[in-house]
Amino acid sequence: MNALVSELQQQLRARSVRKLVVIADATVSALYPHYWDELSHEFPTIFMDVPAGDASKSIAQAEQLWLQLLEACCDRDVFILNFGGGMVCDLGGFVAATYKRGVRFANCPTTLLAMIDAAIGGKNGVNVRHVKNCVGTFCQPEFELPCDLSFLQTLSEKELLSGFGELIKCAIIGAPALFCELEALEHLTPGNIQPGWIDKCISVKHEFVKRDPYDLHERHVLNLGHTYGHAIESLFAEEGRPVAHGEAVALGLFYESRLMAQIGQCRQEDADRVERLVRRHYRVPAFTEDEVRRLVDFMQQDKKNQQGHVVFVQLRGIGDVSPDCRVALDLCAKVIR
């Protein structure tokens, strides 16, 4: 029995759990059909698969799961385990937080992005039409499980790179020594993701969540790279060539560090280090003039913005950030050009 399953077994025993529901990403359950065999001998387990992809993060899918829970006569003492990437953690967390006014749950993340980000922090939710995370709750899992890095072996290169973007972000926000280790990495492969990197990212996220559990101010720094990142994600989605979220964040880190250096906030040598690291692993696109205009339009729509200004995370250097720095729109465009 591996460390994750054994820890879960202890936690479920300690809570005298009698019924376990595993809400799983269908791709993940197909790849790991026997992962929970040892556990399900001890705890009666019902498996509920959800089609892979962010389209499943919907009210319709949540309703489907609520109905399945009802049909399986699940009461408030049921325990839900979310098994998959960030999509399943967000959807399953939302279903658990709302079913019968809330039942206990935990996450078993299987993507790099979910291990260091989506599975922790207590935010969950679903998308409504094209609006991401429009409906959701803050609700902490009962406990956190150790990450099983062997899941990364089956992750596509695209998804690995996506998680790596968030990893770079975490290092910039609160782990300068980790940033140096990432700079020494020549090629990204599942095998060279170090367990210590994951632990460090989790502790950085915990630190900000502890200071600001409801995301009112200090936790905003976790959005570093996301202002340009979300705009890039929306632009490419509109053009029918979607990029993974974390890849857009990595490009966002590149533009935001440049922007901060240009307005004299960020040390130039630190912005250069971010640029070198991003360029080593990602292709930085050349945007046409029309695309620059549309990127700026997307940034303008962000709900945090005020009167011709865009709100960014203030980046002064590696490991030196604070929330909320207002920058004029025309400067945002200049940096992309």
Ligand X SMILES: NC(=O)c1ccc[n+]([C@@H]2O[C@H](COP(=O)([O-])OP(=O)(O)OC[C@H]3O[C@@H](n4cnc5c(N)ncnc54)[C@H](O)[C@@H]3O)[C@@H](O)[C@H]2O)c1
Q: Which of 250, 112, 98, 114 is nearest to 172 (CA)?
A: 250
Number of Cβ within 10 Å of residue 158's Cβ equals 11
Residues 222-251 that bind ligand X (CB under 6 A): 245
Q: Minimum Å distance from CB 26 to ligand X?
A: 7
Residues 300-319 that bind ligand X (CB under 6 A): none
**DSSP string covering 76-106:** TT-EEEEEESHHHHHHHHHHHHHGGG--EEE
295 binds ligand X (CB under 6 A): no
Contact range with ligand X by CB under 6 A, out of 84-92, 95-103, 288-296, 301-309: 84-92
317 - beta bridge partners?
320
> Binding string, 185-224, against ligand X, x = CB under 6 A?
----------------------------------------
Q: How far is the CB of 53 from ligand X (least distance, A)?
A: 6
Residue 68 Cα distances to 48, 101, 176, 261, 299, angstroms? 8, 16, 46, 52, 39
Residue closer to ligand X (CB basis): 113 or 327:
113
Taking the complex as a whole, how short is the minimal distance between the CB of residue 55 and ligand X, in angstroms? 10
Q: DSSP per residue over 136-176, as a string?
A: --B---S--PPP-GGGGGGS-HHHHHHHHHHHHHHHHHH-H
To the nearest whole angstrom, how small is the minimum distance from the Cβ of residue 191 to ligand X?
14
CA atoms of 37 and 26, how far apart (whole Å): 17
252 lies in the binding site for ligand X (CB under 6 A): no
Nearer to ligand X, 188 or 271 (CB): 188
Comparing CB distances to ligand X, the nearer of 97 and 261 is 97
Q: Do residues 227 and 302 touch, judged by C-beta distance below 8 A?
A: yes
Name the token pair of 334.
């200049």
- Pairwise CA distance, residues 301 & 292, whole Å: 15
Instruction: Choose the binding region for ligand X from 155-163, 206-214, 292-300, 323-331 (rule: CB under 6 A).
Output: 155-163
Residue 307 falls in which region: left (phi positive, over 0), alpha (psi -120 to 50) or beta: left
Binding mask 167-186 for ligand X (x = CB under 6 A): --------------------
User: Angle CA(246)–CA(121)–CA(250) in degrees, nearest 5?
Assistant: 15
The yes or no reply on residue 87 touching ligand X (CB under 6 A) is yes
Residue 313's nearest CA partner among 233, 234, 231, 217 is 217
Tell me which stretch binds ligand X (CB under 6 A): 53-61, 232-240, 253-261, 273-281. 53-61
Q: Which residue is nearest to ligand X (CB)?
A: 86
Per CB under 6 A, the list member of 2, 6, 10, 154 interacting with ligand X is 154
Rank residues 31 and 263 by Cβ distance to ligand X and give the closer one: 31
CA–CA separation, 56 vs 98, rounded Å?
Answer: 17
Q: Give the interface segment with ligand X, choosing from 72-80, 95-103, 105-113, 225-233 (CB under 6 A).
A: 105-113
Interface ranges with ligand X (CB under 6 A):
25, 27-28, 31, 52-54, 57, 84-88, 90, 110-111, 113-114, 117-118, 121, 123-124, 132-133, 151, 154-155, 159, 162, 245
